[in-house]
Structures are given as C-alpha cells and as structure tokens.
Structure 1
C-alpha cells in the first residue's frame, strides 16, 4: 500500500513538472513572437537608406537625410526640365522593337485657368511628378498653354517639335536645411518638322528645390511602364517647389554689373520671358 502511494506521488510530480515546463515554454514562445513583431514594425517604419543620388551613374550615400550632392541637384534640374519641354509627338521607346516604329503620343488633357482643357505630352506629365504637389497643378496648366496643338498633329506638314537647350546650370546655393536655389540658362527651341522654321524663346529660370522622402514601388513587378517612370522620377528624393524668372544680374554672375537691376514683380506664374 505504501509503495502504491509512493508511485502515485512520483507520477503526480512528473506530470506537474511537465505541465509547468510546457506552460513556461508557451510563455517563452509568446514573448519571442511579440519581440519579433516589434522588430518587424520598426523595420516597416524605418526610412529607406539614401542611396538614390546618382553622379556619373554611381550611387552616393549620405548620412544626413536632408543632404544632397550639388551635382545630383544639377542633374535633377536638367533631367526634369529636358523631359518637361522636349516634345517630339511620339512616346519614348520601351524596347528595341519600338525604336523602329515609334508610337504616337496622344497626349494628356489638362484643365486650364480659362475653364477649358489642353493637351500636354506624356513626357511632360511624367516629369511633373518631380514638382511639389501644391505647385504641380498650376505649372501643368501653364505647360498646357505653352504646348502647341501641332505637336500632336498627324499631318507632317503641320507637326512641330520642341527641345530645351540648356546652356548652363549654376551650382546650387543652400538657403535652408534641405532647400536649395538653382539657376538655369536655356533656350526653348520649337521647330516645324517640314521646312525647319524655328522659334527660339529664352528659358532662364530660378528653381527652389527641396529634399523629400521616397518609398519604393511595392508592386514593381506588376507596374505599367508609366508607373515605373513616375517612381523613377521620385527616386531622386528631390522636388521642385517653385520656379521664378532668373535675373542674370544676381549673385550667380560674379561679373555682373551690380548697378543694374532686374525687373521686379515677376513671380512663378510667369515661366517664359
């Protein structure tokens, strides 16, 4: 009888120990799950590393999220404005097959301040995503007013093209953390496809640029060519906040006659002199 009681006590002790060990193991696993969840959440909230500045095709890493290389800013301005004001009437080729047979650019309708709507080229619309959201809408309306309808004409005798010829982009001047002022001297050349008649308009502008965040395309493999192009524009982590007429007599030109003054009162509403 005594031996039977001892066996029962030993069995009860083993079961109790096993239950306590199992419960402790469950608590440990739950704690590890909670810790892993917190780590995943921190990773999801962390900003992507700043490897987006490209100089001569090579990424430049900056520890400061608001820091940008001067050459990267100048390339951003040049690339954006060339895409914005180079109109060929055709879409950029996406592969070798399209190089031989370019697709016509049907354009994108933009509302104008007069209440109507006019077309801008697809390249202009994509490049406009390099502008800040509050500035983009008004700028697109101005670009639509500047874009001749002949750009989209299927009649070769009426078709026109446009190209922005950049003469100089001045070194960026930092005006605040993550904000720069950049001057550009260029000409906007519009040309008839037949006959070659040209209209040259000075395009001397002062850009206010600021650093921005960027988040990669979550569905890069399923994106359209247009979506990929837009994400590529935003990948520079820079955006244009304002465009003014450039005064060629300001501090950009060290040899300028300081006794002369530029015309005042010109705002970002006037993009072409």
Structure 2
C-alpha cells in the first residue's frame, strides 16, 4: 500500500511540471508574437527605399531616401519649366492619332490675383502638379495673367503660341538638406498669327527644388488618364516650391545666402 501511494505521488508531480512547462511555453509564444507584431508595424511605417536613376539609366538604391542625383534635378527642372510654358493651343497627345491630328485646347479656368478668371493651357495646369501645393495655386494665378487669350483662339490670323527656350541651366546648388537651387537662363518666345511674328521675353530664374516621397498608385488599371498624368508628374520625387529672379550680374558660385540678400524678388 505504501509503495502504491509513493508511485501515485510521483505521477502527480510529473503532471504538475508538465503543466507548468506548457504554460511557460504559451507565455513565451505570446511574447514572441507581440514582439513580431511591433516589428511588422515599425516596418510598415518606414519609408520605402528610393531608387535613383543615374545619367546612364542604371538605377541604384540609396540609403538616404531623399537623395537625388544632380543630373536628375536638372532634367526635372528643365522638363517642368518647358511644360509650364508650352502654349501650343493644342491638348497634349495621348494617342498616335492625336500626334498628327491634335485636339484644340480650351484651357483651364483659373482665378487671377485681380479677382477675375482667365484660362491657362492644359499642359501648364498638368505640369503645375510638380510644384509644392502651397506654391502651386499662386503660381497658376500668375501664369493665367501671363497667358494671352489668343492662345485659345480658333482664328489662324489671331492664333498665338509660346514656348520656353532654355539656353543655359546651371548645376544644382545645395542650399539646405534635400533642397537645391537651379539657375536657368531662357527666353519665352511668343509667335503670333500666320506671319509668325515673334516676341522674345527674357526669362532668367532661380528655381528652388526639394526632394519628396512619391508613391505609385496601387491600382494603375483603375485610374483615369488625368490621374495617371498627375502621378507621372509626381514620379520624379521632386517638387518646386519657389522661383526667384536670377541675378546674372553675380558669379553663380557665390553662396546662396549672399546671392539671396541681393536678389529677393519672387516670380
């Protein structure tokens, strides 16, 4: 009888140890799951890595997600400014047929600083999405004031077009973390009527650029052509947030602070 009691007591002890061990494993598993959940959440909140395209077209992964190559900045500024002043009177072509048979541009209505309403070219309106949002509205108002109404005329003798001819674009100068200044020397050439009379307006500006994060639309098959165009404009992960007059009398390699003290006129 005594031996049976001892055996029974030993069985109870083994079960108790097993229960405690199982409970401890459950606690450890729960702790690991909670830790893994926090790790996944932190990864989801991190910015995705930026791939910078070099001049030769080879993409590289950068540690700094806001780093940009100088040539990429120059191309962005050149492309954006030319598109802003592309006043051809026609809509940007979306198909091969529209290249040979362009559609007339009716323009986009924009409120002007004087309180009136004028039209800007559709290409200007689309390109303006490359600007910072707080700068874009005022900039479009200025473009509306500059755009001649003859751009949208359907009479050939009154028709006017314009384009920006960039003669020189300076290397980007870093003025702050992830911000650059790019000087451009250009002429705004306006052509009017069948006789192709030209009016040339100097356009020499300092374009202030900053890097941003941009993301592709996850449902590319379900967005409109307009949305796709806007996403395409923002795909460079850069935006213009200020435009100043370019001081051509100064050496361009002077520091930004010295030059800005002498050249404070905004566009």
Q: If the TM-score is normalised by the length of the shorter chain, which range does it land in?
A: 0.7 to 0.9
Distance across 1 between alignment mates of 2:230 and 2:52:
15
Per-residue displacement from partner, 1:32-67 (whole Å, max 9, x unpaired)?
Answer: 875665455334322122115453544343222332
Matched with 2:70 is: 70
Distance across 2 between alignment mates of 1:123 and 1:52:
26
| 1:182 and 2:150 are equivalent in the alignment | no
| 1:214 and 2:214 are equivalent in the alignment | yes
- TM value normalised by structure 2: 0.81
Matched with 2:194 is: 194
* SS at structure 1 position matched to 2:68: coil
How is 1:95-244 mapped onto 2 (pairs within 5 angstroms)? Answer: 95-244=95-244
- Higher mean displacement: 49-58 or 138-147: 49-58
Matched with 1:268 is: 266
Distance across 2 between alignment mates of 1:193 and 1:40:
63
Contact 1:129 1:234 in 2 (8 A): yes
Contact 1:186 1:202 in 2 (8 A): yes
Matched with 2:51 is: 51
Q: 1:60 to 1:192 in 2, by over 3 A?
A: farther
Q: 1:262 to 1:239 in 2, by over 3 A?
A: closer
Q: 1:89 to 1:52 in 2, by over 3 A?
A: farther
Per-residue displacement from partner, 1:98-146 (whole Å, max 9, x unpaired)?
Answer: 2232222221111111111111111111111111122111111000011
Contact 2:247 2:263 in 1 (8 A): no
Q: 1:228 to 1:247 in 2, by over 3 A?
A: same
* SS at structure 1 position matched to 2:51: coil
Q: Which runs of 5+ in 2 are unaligned?
A: 1-18
- TM value normalised by structure 1: 0.79
Distance across 2 between alignment mates of 1:113 and 1:157:
30
What RMSD over aligned residues (CA atoms) do the two structures have, in Å?
3.3
Contact 1:48 1:215 in 2 (8 A): no
Distance across 2 between alignment mates of 1:39 and 1:101:
56
How is 1:9-20 mapped onto 2 (pairs within 5 angstroms)? Answer: none
Give the number of aligned pairs: 260
Q: Which runs of 5+ in 1 are unaligned?
A: 1-18, 255-260
CA shift at 1:84, angstroms?
0.3
Distance across 2 between alignment mates of 1:56 and 1:195:
42
Distance across 2 between alignment mates of 1:64 and 1:166:
31
Q: 1:60 to 1:71 in 2, by over 3 A?
A: farther
- Higher mean displacement: 69-78 or 21-30: 21-30
Matched with 2:82 is: 82
